[in-house]
Amino acid sequence: MMIRISVLTAATATAVGLVFGVSAGAAGEPARVISLLSVQQGGSLIDVDRSGGAGPTLGDQYIFTDGLYEWHGTKRGKRIGTTHGIATITSPTTAFFTGTMTLPGGLIQGAGYFSFTARVETIIVLGGTGKYSNAGGDVTITKLGSENSNNSSLVIRLIR
């Protein structure tokens, strides 16, 4: 069970890096690209159906908090935000993620499906508040390190 939870934890940690604090440019401008490092801070598996099994089952949820840091490919910079999210198990190998980032100037919301075994995933940016109002785009999430790593690099493309 510990390995499945570790895989779920790592996969969920990769899904949290929705967007860092910039708003996209006016129509016709290219997407803005931002790089971040997501580091899991904590989480809990909720056995929604009370199956008591050896690992997560359909409908179970993993609730977590991650720290977001400036990232330049090899060195972690200063902490710039936090993500709070929920991943709902949709199959033995996938989950649906929703999450909200708290960043200077506002909140960002994002969502998407992801596989526990994939090293690279893409999720969408749904919107935000404050200086992130009407945010849209996507985030490519790449798991760093081994299967049990809690770190992921995030490449965010904002198109509005």
Residue 16 has pLDDT above 70, yes or no: no
The per-residue pLDDT for 26 is 52
The residue among 21, 56, 43 whose CA lies nearest residue 135 is 21
Q: What is the pLDDT of residues 55-64, one digit of tens each?
A: 788 999 999 9
pTM of the model as a whole: 0.77
Q: Which burial class, exposed, middle or buried, applies to 155 when counting CB atoms under 10 A from its CB (0-12, 13-18, 19+)?
A: middle
- Please, which residues have CB within 8 angstroms of residue 138's CB and are 6 or more apart in sequence? 122, 123, 124, 125, 156, 157
- Please, which residues have CB within 8 angstroms of residue 41's CB and are 6 or more apart in sequence? 64, 65, 66, 67, 82
